[in-house]
Chain A
Amino acid sequence: EVYLEESGGGLVQPGRSLRLSCAASGFTFDDFGMHWVRQVPGKGLEWVAGISWDGDSVGYADSVKGRFTISRDNAKNSLYLQMASLSIKDTAVYYCAKDLKTQWQVARPDSWGQGTLVTVSS
C-alpha cells in the first residue's frame, strides 16, 4: 500500500524559509514522478511543483517559481520542497502526491499524503 507522510510544516515569519519533506513507502519510489499540491484552508487545490522519477526534470507554478525548489533523494525514498521568501499567500496545507507515471508534466497525482500545514505570519 502506498504511504506518503509529509513533515516540516509549522509557523514561519514572512520572508523566512522552510523545508518540507515527504517520506514515501509501499512502492518503488524511483519509478514515479512526484508532486507538491497546496490548499489554502477552505479553498481549492493548487499545483505547486513536480519532479521526474530521476530528478532531472522539474516544473513549478508561476506563483512559486524562483522561490520554491523541489527535489528528491531516491536512496532515502524522500521528496522535498525548499520554500524561500515566504509570504502570507503561501499559507496552506501542502500535500505530497505520487504520479501515475515517471514524469511530472502531465501531472497524474495518483496517491496523496495527508498534508502538512504551513502558516506564514508575523
Chain B
Amino acid sequence: QAVVTQEPSLTVSPGGTVTLTCGSSTGPVTSNHYARWFQQKPGQAPTTLIYDTRNKRSWTPARFSGSLVGGKAALTLSGAQPEDEADYYCLLSYVAAPVFGGGTKLTVL
C-alpha cells in the first residue's frame, strides 16, 4: 500500500500564508490522484475543503486553494485566521484503494 506523507506540523501567523503538501511514496502526485483535502477541528468530524486537486466545496472559504507543486499536492492558506487552526488531511487515489496522509497540525500563532 502506498504511503502518503504530510508535514506533521506547521505554524502560520495571523494574516499570513502557508502551504501544506501531500506526497506519495509511488512517485509524483498528479491529477490522476484526485487529491482531496479535509479540515478537522478538535472533537469534530472532518469537513471537506478541496476535491480533485483544486475544486472547492460551496462552504470552503476563499482563502483556501489547492494545486500541484513540485510533484506534490498542495493546500495553500492565504490570510490565515485563528479559526483555521486545525488538523488537515489529504487523501489520494490509487488503483487498489484511497489512502490518507498522516495529517498536518496547523497552528495559527
The answer to whether residues A100 and B100 also contact, given A106-B93, A108-B36, A112-B45 and a CB cut-off of 8 A, is: no
Instruction: Give every chain B residue within 8 A of A100 (Cβ-Cβ).
Output: 51
CA distance A79 to B45 in the complex (A): 18
Which of B40, B51, B98, B103 is within 8 Å of A47, CB to CB?
A: B98
A59 touches B (CB below 8 Å): yes
Number of A-B contacts (CB under 8 A): 60
B63 touches A (CB below 8 Å): no
Could you tell me which residues of chain B, from 1 to 42, have a CB within 8 Å of some CB in chain A? Answer: 1, 34, 36, 38, 40
CB distance from A99 to the nearest CB of B (A): 10
**Quick check: A47 and B100 within 8 Å, CB to CB?**
yes
Instruction: Give every chain B residue within 8 A of A46 (Cβ-Cβ).
Output: 100
Instruction: Give every chain B residue within 8 A of A37 (Cβ-Cβ).
Output: 46, 100
CA distance A106 to B32 in the complex (A): 9
Which of B36, B99, B101, B103 is within 8 Å of A109, CB to CB?
A: B36
Count class of interface residues, chain A: 20 to 34
CB distance from B40 to the nearest CB of A (A): 8
CA distance A109 to B45 in the complex (A): 12
**Quick check: A45 and B103 within 8 Å, CB to CB?**
yes
Chain B, Cβ-Cβ closest to A47 = B98
Contact mask for chain A residues 2-38; partner B; CB cutoff 8 A; 1 contact, 0 none:
0000000000000000000000000000000000010
Count class of interface residues, chain B: 20 to 34
CA distance A78 to B38 in the complex (A): 24
- Chain B interface, DSSP helix/strand/loop, else mixed: loop
Chain B, Cβ-Cβ closest to A59 = B97
CA distance A108 to B33 in the complex (A): 11
**Quick check: B93 and A110 within 8 Å, CB to CB?**
no
**Quick check: B38 and A107 within 8 Å, CB to CB?**
no
**Quick check: B45 and A45 within 8 Å, CB to CB?**
no
For the complex of A and B, list the 7 residue pairs with the smallest distance between their C-beta atoms, beginning with the closest.
A107-B98, A112-B45, A45-B100, A44-B103, A108-B51, A47-B98, A106-B93
On B, residues with C-beta under 8 Å from A are 1, 34, 36, 38, 40, 45-48, 51-52, 57, 89, 91, 93, 96-103
